């Protein structure tokens, strides 16, 4: 039986990645960088909980192009003769063809679909180029497909939970530093200390961790103004 592109392969080729997820517009890290092979759609890390029993592949970016770990793709399709690259100690493969503006005139291998210069012994610059070549030459992709029932994200991939955002300090930020907060009549405010910035409708309040003395935005700005140097006086002319 002649088999063309499976649905999951079409999804890797046609879905848009690294765009905001419409289902989690207000969430942090909502960039869609995962492809669910069972639903044939791109998802963000917040969507993983709804697809936790599906086959998932993380899509990465390399020189402004989508790539996938070779280790993951090899479980789905034969990637031999496709040039791979190393990113963070992991080999990756480009998903789509990357045609060159100028024609290659030197010696060496060139891609079978887009004429890109390649290293020996590779003849395809991306997975898309190999699929296009196989379908053009043999009209059948089935010998290259591999059965894969389970495919999960790598253990180092962080999946955000609802608790993560609940634990974040959305209304206050602690900034550690050795700089004095501001110069004012209070001696304590000139001491090196941690600064806690509280945001409210009436503006921010700055609290010195050592003295628990607080000042408003207006007082803080006034104190900062007082630290500026006075107008320099010219030396008398001789």
pTM beyond 0.75, yes or no: no
- Alpha-carbon gap, residue 238 to 140, rounded angstroms: 95
206 has which bridge partners?
197, 215
Divide the 238 residues of the chain into consecutive groups of 10 and give the mean pLDDT of each group: 80 94 88 96 94 94 93 96 91 89 69 88 94 93 93 79 46 32 35 42 47 49 54 60
Q: Residue 162's CB: how many other CB atoms inside 10 A?
A: 10
- Alpha-carbon gap, residue 134 to 127, rounded angstroms: 11
- Alpha-carbon gap, residue 17 to 206, rounded angstroms: 41
Identify the pLDDT of residue 211. Answer: 43
* Tokens, residue 91: 């080999």
């Amino acid at each position: 039986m002649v088999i063309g592109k499976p649905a999951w392969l079409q999804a890797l080729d046609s879905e848009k990645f690294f765009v905001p997820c419409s289902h989690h517009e207000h969430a942090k890290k909502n960039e869609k960088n995962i492809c669910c092979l069972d639903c044939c759609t791109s998802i963000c890390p917040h969507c993983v909980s709804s697809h936790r029993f599906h086959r998932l592949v993380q899509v990465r970016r390399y020189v402004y192009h989508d790539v996938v770990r070779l280790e993951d793709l090899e479980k789905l399709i034969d990637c031999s003769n496709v040039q791979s690259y190393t990113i963070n100690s992991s080999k990756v493969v480009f998903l789509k063809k990357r045609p060159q503006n100028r024609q290659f005139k030197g010696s060496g291998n060139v891609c079978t679909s887009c004429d890109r210069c390649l290293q020996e012994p590779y003849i395809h610059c991306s997975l898309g180029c190999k699929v296009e070549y196989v379908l053009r030459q043999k009209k059948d992709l089935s010998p290259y497909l591999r059965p894969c029932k389970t495919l999960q994200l790598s253990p180092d991939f962080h999946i955000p939970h609802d608790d993560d955002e609940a634990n974040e300090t959305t209304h206050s930020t602690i900034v550690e530093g050795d700089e004095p907060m501001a110069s004012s009549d209070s001696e304590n405010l000139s001491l090196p200390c941690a600064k806690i910035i509280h945001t409210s409708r009436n503006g921010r309040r700055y609290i010195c961790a050592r003295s628990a003395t607080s000042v408003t935005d207006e007082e803080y700005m006034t104190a900062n103004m007082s630290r500026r140097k006075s107008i320099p006086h010219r030396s008398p002319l001789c």
